[in-house]
C-alpha cells in the first residue's frame, strides 16, 4: 500500500517546493523506500510545451515524451527515478479530457461539474499508474488561496478521507520572514497560510518553514501552538549554500524522521546518506576550476537552462572541478569578430544549447566557428548541433546554408521533418500544424559508429537512448559534403535516416548532438558527454 505525501505551499511562490519534494523523496529513498514524485500544475495550458522559457523556465522532457514542469527535473536528479507522462498533470489537461468525454456523450446526460468530475479526474491521476511503491509525493503548484488551485486542494481533502487514516500526510511549505527594522522573525504569515489551508479542509501535519535566519525554539513553539502541530513538526528550512546540500540539511532538521512518525512508522532503517555526502564533498571541495561560455538566447533567466546548468555542475563533480558558467547572449555576437574573440577567449569550453527561432542564430554560428578554428572544446546541443552543421556547410562553400526554421533558404542544411518512426509507428507532421506536443519528443535510440570519439565517450556503446525535443533535423542530403569538410556523422537514427551526432576528428573535442543529454544527467551519475566536455575544458585550461 503506497502512502501519499501532499505538498502545498503558502505565503509566497518560489519557496522551492519542488526541491523540497525532491529532497524528502531522496531521504526516504536513502532509507530503502521506493518513491515516486508527481506534480499537479493548476494552470490552463495542457502542458508547458508552448510556454516561453521566460514565463515558465525550462520544459523538462521525459523518456515517454511528455513536456513537463522543470520540477520533474529536480525529482529525477535527486532520486534517479525516471519521470513519466503520468507524473505531471495540469488543469488544462484535466479539462481537455473532461470536455472531450462530454462531447462524446460519455457522461450520459449528467451535468458536468468541478465537483465531482474535475476532482475525480485529479484523484484518479494521483492514484493511477503506480507500481509497487512505498511513497508517492504529490506537489501542488502555486500557493494556497489561488483560485486556480482550489479543485486540487478539494481533491486532496477528499483523498485524505477516501484513503486509510494513516495513509496520507500533508506537508505545508511556508515562509518565516525576517524584518530587519524590528530585528525579528515573523510567524504571522505562516499562521495565516495554515488557516487558509485549514479553511479548505486540510490540516497540515508537517510545516517546513523557509527562513533566512535560524528560527529560535520559542518561535517554533509559537508556530506549533497557533498552527495546531507538534513543535517537532515545525521544521526550519534555512537557505542552503547549494541545492545539493538540501537533503542533508533537511535530514539534520528531522524532516524525514518527522514525516515517518506522522505515518506511525517508528522502525524505519537509518538512511544511507553516503552518496549525498560524496556529492556535496565533490561540490564544495573542488580541486580546480574551468570556465564554460554558454552562448544562448534565454541567458537572462537561469531557470530557462536548469538541466543544462545542473549537468555542467555534474560534469564538474565527475572531474572534481568547479564549473564557472558564463551566460552569453548570442545576439551580442552578431556584430564584429573582435567582440567575439574578446568574449570567448577566456573560455575553456564553448557550449551552444538548444533553442528556438532565428534570433541570435548568427551569433551562435560565429561561436561555433570560433571554437572550431581556435581548437576550443565545443559542445552543441539540439539547435547548437544544427548550427554546427550550418557553420561547417558554410565552410564547405554553401554560403546560403541555414535552417528552414528561420525562413526560406536555398541551402536547407536543417529542415523540418514531416515523417519519422517512433515506437508507436510512423509519425507525420506538416508545415503550419499545431505547435503543442507535435515535436519529436522523448527517448529515441541512436546507433553510434564503432571507434568514434562519441562511442568512446559512451564507454564503447554502439546503441544509446537519449531524449529529444525538436521539430527540425539536419538534412541527410548534406552528409556527404559535410563529411568531406571534416564533420563526421558518428550517430544516426536506427533506420540511418536522421543524423543524431556529429564530431570532428581534427579537433580536440567537438561534439554536436540532436538530443538533450542534460535531461538524463544526475549528480550521482554525471552524463558521460558532460563529464567528457568538462574534462576537455580542464585540458584546455592547462594550455592557456
The residues in 365-384 that bind ligand GLN, with binding defined as CB under 6 A, are: 382-383
> Is 57 among the residues that bind ligand GLN (CB under 6 A)?
no
- x-or-dash string of contact with ligand GLN, 393-432, rule CB under 6 A: ------------x---------------------------
# residues contacting ligand GLN (CB under 6 A): 10
The one among 75, 125, 472, 510 contacting ligand GLN by CB under 6 A: 472
Would you put residue 357 in left (φ > 0), alpha (ψ -120 to 50) or beta? left
Nearer to ligand GLN among residue 142 and residue 355 (C-beta): 355
Which grid cell is 532? Answer: 567528457
Do the beta carbons of residue 293 and residue 351 sit within 8 Å? yes
Can you tell me which residue has the cell 507500481?
A: 131
Does residue 515 bind ligand GLN (CB under 6 A)? no
Q: Is 58 in the site for ligand GLN (CB under 6 A)?
A: no
Q: How far is the CB of 409 from ligand GLN (least distance, A)?
A: 14
Active-site annotation holder among 314, 468, 516, 527 = 516
354 is an interface residue for ligand GLN by CB under 6 A: yes
Binds ligand GLN by CB under 6 A, chosen from 125, 283, 356, 378:
356
**Dist CA 394 CA 406 (whole Å):** 16
Round the CA-based radius of gyration of the chain to a whole number and report it.
25
Helices and strands (H, E) in the chain, number of each type: 18, 25
Q: Is 518 a catalytic residue?
A: yes
**Could you tell me the smallest distance in angstroms from the CB atom of residue 382 to ligand GLN?**
3
Please indicate whether residue 382 is annotated as part of the active site: yes
Stretch that binds ligand GLN, among 202-210, 306-314, 429-437, 466-474 (CB under 6 A): 466-474
Cell representation of residue 493: 537514427
Whether residue 116 is preceded by a cis peptide bond, meaning omega within 30 degrees of 0, is yes
Q: Is 512 in the site for ligand GLN (CB under 6 A)?
A: no
Q: Cell triple for residue 120? A: 475525480
Q: Are 326 and 360 in contact (CB under 8 A)?
A: no
Candidates 71-79, 182-190, 352-360, 526-534; binding stretch for ligand GLN (CB under 6 A): 352-360
From the number of C-beta atoms within 10 Å of its C-beta (0-12, 13-18, 19+), residue 429 rates as: middle
Q: What sign for the dihedral angle of Cα 511, 514, 516, 521?
A: negative
Q: Which of 421, 471, 481, 486 binds ligand GLN (CB under 6 A)?
A: 471
Query: Of 465, 379, 458, nearest to 422 (Cα)?
Result: 465
Q: Please tell me which residue in 382, 453, 500, 503 is annotated as part of the active site.
A: 382
Q: Which residues are catalytic?
A: 382, 516, 518
Q: Which residues bind ligand GLN (CB under 6 A)?
A: 354-356, 382-383, 405, 469-472
Amino acid at each position: 500500500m503506497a502512502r501519499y505525501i501532499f505538498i502545498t505551499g503558502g505565503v509566497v511562490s518560489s519557496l522551492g517546493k519542488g526541491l523540497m519534494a525532491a529532497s524528502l523523496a531522496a531521504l526516504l529513498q536513502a532509507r530503502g523506500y521506493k518513491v515516486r514524485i508527481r506534480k499537479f500544475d493548476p494552470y490552463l495550458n495542457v502542458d508547458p510545451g508552448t510556454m516561453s522559457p521566460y514565463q515558465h523556465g525550462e520544459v523538462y522532457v521525459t523518456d515517454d515524451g511528455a513536456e513537463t514542469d522543470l520540477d520533474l527535473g529536480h525529482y529525477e536528479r535527486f532520486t534517479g527515478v525516471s519521470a513519466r507522462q503520468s507524473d505531471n498533470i495540469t488543469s488544462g489537461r484535466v479539462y481537455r479530457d473532461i470536455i472531450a468525454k462530454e462531447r462524446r456523450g460519455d457522461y450520459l446526460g449528467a451535468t458536468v461539474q468541478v465537483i465531482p468530475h474535475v476532482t475525480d479526474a485529479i484523484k484518479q491521476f494521483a492514484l493511477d499508474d503506480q507500481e509497487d511503491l512505498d511513497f508517492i509525493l504529490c506537489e501542488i503548484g502555486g500557493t494556497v488561496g489561488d483560485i486556480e488551485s482550489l479543485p486540487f486542494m478539494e481533491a486532496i481533502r477528499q483523498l485524505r478521507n477516501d484513503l486509510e487514516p494513516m495513509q496520507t500526510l500533508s506537508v505545508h511549505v511556508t515562509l518565516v520572514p525576517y524584518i530587519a527594522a524590528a530585528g525579528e522573525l515573523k510567524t504571522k504569515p505562516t499562521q495565516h497560510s495554515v488557516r487558509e489551508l485549514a479553511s479548505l479542509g486540510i490540516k497540515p501535519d508537517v510545516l517546513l518553514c523557509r527562513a533566512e535566519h535560524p528560527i529560535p525554539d520559542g518561535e517554533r513553539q509559537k508556530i506549533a501552538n497557533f498552527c495546531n502541530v507538534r513543535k517537532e513538526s515545525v521544521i526550519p528550512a534555512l537557505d542552503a549554500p547549494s541545492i545539493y546540500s538540501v537533503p542533508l540539511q533537511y535530514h539534520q532538521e528531522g524532516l524525514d524522521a518527522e514525516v515517518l512518525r506522522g505515518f506511525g512508522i517508528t522502525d524505519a532503517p537509518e538512511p544511507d546518506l553516503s552518496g549525498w555526502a560524496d556529492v556535496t564533498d565533490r561540490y564544495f571541495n573542488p580541486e580546480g576550476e574551468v570556465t564554460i561560455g554558454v552562448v544562448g538566447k534565454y541567458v537572462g533567466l537561469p531557470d530557462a537552462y536548469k538541466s543544462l546548468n545542473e549537468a555542467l555542475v555534474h560534469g564538474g563533480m565527475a572531474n572534481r572541478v568547479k564549473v564557472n558558467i558564463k551566460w552569453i547572449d548570442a545576439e551580442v555576437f552578431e556584430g564584429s569578430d573582435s567582440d567575439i574573440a574578446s568574449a570567448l577567449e577566456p573560455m575553456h569550453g564553448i557550449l551552444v544549447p538548444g533553442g528556438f527561432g532565428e534570433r541570435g542564430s548568427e551569433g551562435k554560428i560565429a561561436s561555433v566557428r570560433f571554437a572550431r578554428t581556435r581548437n576550443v572544446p565545443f559542445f552543441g546541443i539540439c539547435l547548437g548541433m544544427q548550427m554546427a552543421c550550418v557553420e561547417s556547410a558554410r565552410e564547405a562553400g554553401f554560403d546560403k546554408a541555414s535552417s528552414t526554421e528561420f525562413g526560406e533558404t536555398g541551402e536547407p542544411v536543417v529542415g523540418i521533418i514531416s515523417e519519422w518512426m517512433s515506437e508507436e509507428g510512423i509519425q507525420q507532421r506538416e508545415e503550419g500544424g499545431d505547435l503543442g506536443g507535435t515535436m519529436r519528443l522523448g527517448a529515441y535510440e541512436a546507433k553510434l559508429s564503432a571507434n568514434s570519439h562519441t562511442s568512446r565517450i559512451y564507454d564503447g556503446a554502439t546503441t544509446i537512448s537519449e531524449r529529444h525535443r525538436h521539430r527540425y533535423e539536419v538534412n541527410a542530403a548534406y552528409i556527404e559534403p559535410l563529411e568531406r569538410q571534416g564533420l563526421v556523422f558518428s550517430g544516426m537514427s536506427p533506420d540511418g535516416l536522421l543524423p543524431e551526432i556529429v564530431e570532428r576528428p581534427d579537433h580536440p573535442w567537438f561534439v554536436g548532438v540532436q538530443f538533450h543529454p542534460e535531461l538524463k544527467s544526475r549528480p550521482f551519475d554525471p552524463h558521460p558527454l558532460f563529464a567528457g566536455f568538462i574534462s576537455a575544458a580542464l585540458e584546455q585550461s592547462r594550455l592557456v
